[in-house]
Structure 1
């Protein structure tokens, strides 16, 4: 019943409940006024009692019209109600009916349970004081008025405290629900930001592994072709053809990136052989760099994501050989193990310190393989070449995991 000031109910539900309660109160106020008119106390007492009841009714009506000053209005209304009950008890005119009708108001309009109890205690004291002045310290006062008033007040207190605990629990639940909704909204926003960041990282990784490597090859080939135009025209022509082929491959890769961005999701995972794509990449690398390539490629069927991951690892590894290793021989072995597919790429270049490497390419390869449940192992030391091992679990192993 304290919910008039802190109602956790939805606004529409609370407004409907309050309108029903107001209707009941107005009907009871009207019945009390009729009762005062139809009873036969002295004429002066009748008008005084009607005036006191009118003050209560006016304050109650004004209270419903002043939502902006509801707290102050509630205190004024309860104060007038206490005085009216004391006056009606002194006049002996329907004070008991008004006391029972307005008993819930102390809990509805009190700011706190303590304030509600204080106003209820004042109303009880005023009622008993008015009755004692009218009746004196008689047996009728102690036998009927005092006992009945205290019983009604005790029942009202118990009901009010119970209602307050229910409303407090409802308010706490409403607060927790609101906090949960805010947390869910923040979590959803965080997921959206993380999804956008993951997508940007994926696109950056694809661009690095495809377009950037292709443009780097085009630049190297173009510089070599320009330098050999006069000394070795045939070689320059071959390099120009490689530039054209690389540019076409880059255009194809760009179109595939655009298509994958327009159609998110894994799509159809059509099994296919990865050896053919690796062979084309290795032949192009050997032709452009004149590095000897020894390849042992098993004819394996992999899903599209695994094929792309193995191809990207190969392209990145060959790009590192081209830019950093100064190797004369590269070995590539593609095999199937009982529960995984392994791709091993070695070179006899100058090597590097793995712990100090912070390249985007190696990190991109690790993340690409990790998305498929695989792993990347890099073994190298200065002067001893480099070994890169990419492992991707097969479907059977992934299902068991």
Structure 2
């Protein structure tokens, strides 16, 4: 932008010099007028131009002093030097940061120009009346135009500043969302690994230990083979879970099976691995949204894992029921119960806290406490969207009829 100011100013200086030369100025008048124009040009190159870029107010004032004096001096010799006023008034407003100083500089320029014209025309009653009046009109117009230009420029600068702040805020928000997304994805992967792979590996270790123990017993070969078969099945399931996790698919047990089939197989496998009595009970549950099925499956996996590690139970029951627009999953055992001081957030490990967070994200709640006849019961409650569930139920019915 400043480059165009430079070009325009140089063009005005050249046009002024040419107009003075062709306008009839000769000898000393031509020489002094051209010297004044040249002095203004040199002052702009040394002070005015750099001040326009750096906003150095001392350099701007020094340049404008030369402009005021040079314009008045040129007008004492040639009326064609009045072309300089176009650039001079504009520079009073462009270079000074304070409007008050711009008004003062404009008034000084108008006074210098008036004196220059009066010196050239003579101090007669007519000129002393006409010249100040004409220059006063020019001054009012210049100040009004300068105020409007200054207001426009400041509005433009404010707009540019607001745009920069908005872009900075958008960038910060994007970075925040990205960081939150990364953190959420890390937490999701951590929960998935804990709920699937870690528990599968725990099962493999326990089955391997059990297989080693029965090898030393007479007739233990068949029992060892049974344990090895369970190890193989668990390892294959873990491999499927790992592949589904990497590909961000639904849990492997739900890819080709319903939730009821997946939970039934989970409970049966748990009973085979631990030797506990394990039951799966279903009461009035039809098709559920996929998101709810994933949450319920993970809760059942974590609940059974806690029974395996901590309960010391002889029996466990997984019950899936539906009451109106709420589905409940209960995992209860007849074990030793909860330790003393256990409560919400107290004594909970990563598994329970992650399970509670997973259920809360689905809009439900999770509770854990003593069972009605001893042991521990874990209950997850999930609200369901009736309209969505009816649509899924109708689609499932039509699929079965087809």
Structure 2, unmatched stretches of 5+, are 391-402
Match of 2:370 in 1: 380
Q: TM-score normalized by structure 2?
A: 0.83
CA–CA distance in 1 between the matches of 2:192 and 2:240? 13
CA–CA distance in 1 between the matches of 2:35 and 2:188? 81
Q: TM-score normalized by structure 1?
A: 0.83
Deviation at 1:210, TM superposition (A): 0.7
Deviation at 1:76, TM superposition (A): 4.3
Deviation at 1:135, TM superposition (A): 5.8
CA–CA distance in 2 between the matches of 1:155 and 1:341? 79
1:122 to 108, 116, 138: 108
Deviation at 1:50, TM superposition (A): 2.4
Deviation at 1:73, TM superposition (A): 5.8
Match of 1:236 in 2: 224
1:88 to 57, 63, 74: 74
Deviation at 1:341, TM superposition (A): 2.0
Q: In the TM superposition, what whole-angstrom CA distance separates every residue of 1:88-141 from its partner, at most 9, and x where no partner exists?
A: 343353344432453212112234334423332332332344445556654224
Q: Are the aligned partners of 2:71 and 2:85 in contact in 1 as well (CA < 8 Å)?
A: yes
Q: In the TM superposition, what whole-angstrom CA distance separates every residue of 1:181-215 from its partner, at most 9, and x where no partner exists?
A: 01100110111111111111111111101110011
Q: Are the aligned partners of 1:82 and 1:122 in contact in 2 as well (CA < 8 Å)?
A: yes
Relative to structure 2, which stretch is displaced further, 21-30 or 220-229? Answer: 21-30
Deviation at 1:279, TM superposition (A): 0.9
SS in 2 for 1:145: helix
Match of 1:78 in 2: 64
CA–CA distance in 2 between the matches of 1:248 and 1:151? 95
Match of 1:283 in 2: 268
CA–CA distance in 1 between the matches of 2:296 and 2:196? 13
Deviation at 1:337, TM superposition (A): 2.4
2:336 to 350, 358, 373: 350
CA–CA distance in 2 between the matches of 1:114 and 1:148? 22
Structure 1, unmatched stretches of 5+, are 1-13
2:147 to 156, 161, 164: 161
CA distance change for structure 1 residues 131 and 274 in 2, over 3 Å: closer, same or farther?
same
Structure scoring higher RCO (CA < 8 A, sep ≥ 6) equals 1
CA distance change for structure 1 residues 23 and 207 in 2, over 3 Å: closer, same or farther?
closer
* Number of residue pairs aligned between Structure 1 and Structure 2: 379
1:210 to 196, 204, 218: 196
Q: Are the aligned partners of 1:270 and 1:303 in contact in 2 as well (CA < 8 Å)?
A: no
SS in 1 for 2:369: strand
Match of 2:31 in 1: 47
CA–CA distance in 2 between the matches of 1:383 and 1:224? 30
Q: In the TM superposition, what whole-angstrom CA distance separates every residue of 1:37-83 from its partner, at most 9, and x where no partner exists?
A: 34445632232122212322444466787587674664443222111
CA–CA distance in 1 between the matches of 2:317 and 2:39? 102
Q: In the TM superposition, what whole-angstrom CA distance separates every residue of 1:145-176 from its partner, at most 9, and x where no partner exists?
A: 11111221121111111211111111111111
- What root-mean-square deviation, in Å, do the aligned CA atoms of Structure 1 and Structure 2 show? 3.2
CA distance change for structure 1 residues 93 and 292 in 2, over 3 Å: closer, same or farther?
same
CA–CA distance in 2 between the matches of 1:52 and 1:366? 85
Q: Are the aligned partners of 1:346 and 1:388 in contact in 2 as well (CA < 8 Å)?
A: yes
CA distance change for structure 1 residues 324 and 130 in 2, over 3 Å: closer, same or farther?
same
CA distance change for structure 1 residues 294 and 383 in 2, over 3 Å: closer, same or farther?
closer
Q: Are the aligned partners of 2:271 and 2:278 in contact in 1 as well (CA < 8 Å)?
A: yes
CA–CA distance in 2 between the matches of 1:354 and 1:385? 15
1:220 to 195, 198, 206: 206
SS in 1 for 2:154: helix
Q: In the TM superposition, what whole-angstrom CA distance separates every residue of 1:265-317 from its partner, at most 9, and x where no partner exists?
A: 99xx9896211111111111112222222321246323433222212111111
Match of 1:9 in 2: none
| Alignment map for 1:254-265 (pairs within 5 Å) | 254-260=242-248
